Structure 1
């Protein structure tokens, strides 16, 4: 059976703690260091990035056991380990899967042969289903920097001494730890910690505040014409809201300013 090409496309991180926003400069340095490490790791795997949360497991992915060794689909619906790849080389076509989100914690996986991965009665991972049922749902579990994939039968994915891919262990240990790699680079959103009203240029930000707080009978928006240089400084010092309030107080018909 001829191997099909899989399509590139695009779930809540267990055990993840909300990081403090204090000491921003140190956090930025740490993030930059982690980013460099991730980029170097991706380059050594042909551009395939290691996923770190369920929401990243979508679209074109590959499951890595060990270093540069990926799970490989066979034309009989079974799975084995492919041969080790060289540094800088990505997975082969038969080692590529398509991940499809099922919900916030589970995904379905489709092989390049167009079949969904499931588990048979012997606990062997097979790709022979044309639709996603209970047995075709997988739960990637991230914890302490490690990843294990739990099947619907409550057994973790692992590999036998003969390189067969199975689900026969209820405990995740070194044999069950894997990496799921994706071709979709996760780009950090620079505005993720900024409220929508503060996004955009200073002129756009001020207009949003004016539209929110002012009310005019003629429905015309009136914005303070004074120089906005003070807004830039206020934003850097964390005083943007107070400064906008002062500017609005100079305008008539403001609902909240005298």
Structure 2
């Protein structure tokens, strides 16, 4: 008998079984792959959801403690800030015992100083607005304002001198940031800023409701330090106006207020 022929015949006869076994292995692998993909789908959605939630929490914490977008709702700070600008408010600027300085542009809660009556708002619309405001996509609350610090605690602020300029502690201030169509103030005033408060004014003086408009009211238009949200440091939107808010040297020659406040 030809042994080699028998082996060859045996090898040929085993091929169909081996092919069937290989096909079965492929089917098993395909089945396991499909099951794996089926399990991975819901996990991906869950992971995406958790990632989105984590990002939202991060943005909220960042906005609450570090940097908050703020949409400029009026022309009271032109030309420095324009209607619709989205600015970034540095909420760490006045932490660790730091206080606003003359010339700073700040955002503050005007409750009790600029707004005497409590503002009521629908709870649902309030939540929606606050959520959008966090991203700078909605106008701020009616109690939020943006102005420039002109006087700090103890300062005597007077308007106007013979040249029509605001004086702080007896020194006239050259406010080059003011809107060119207006004057430093059409309202005469002579005040001493109480300790722990600020005297604030808009850069577009003829179109700004600021501390001057609340003289004679409770608080006298003064903004308590603890109502300051932060300092406006950057314009973030629109893209064509990306820039920092330059510090002004307008008050560089103003001396500090003497103990007890400045007196004429």
TM-score above 0.5, yes or no: no
- Pick the structure with more helix per residue: 2
Instruction: Select the structure of larger CA radius of gyration.
Output: 2
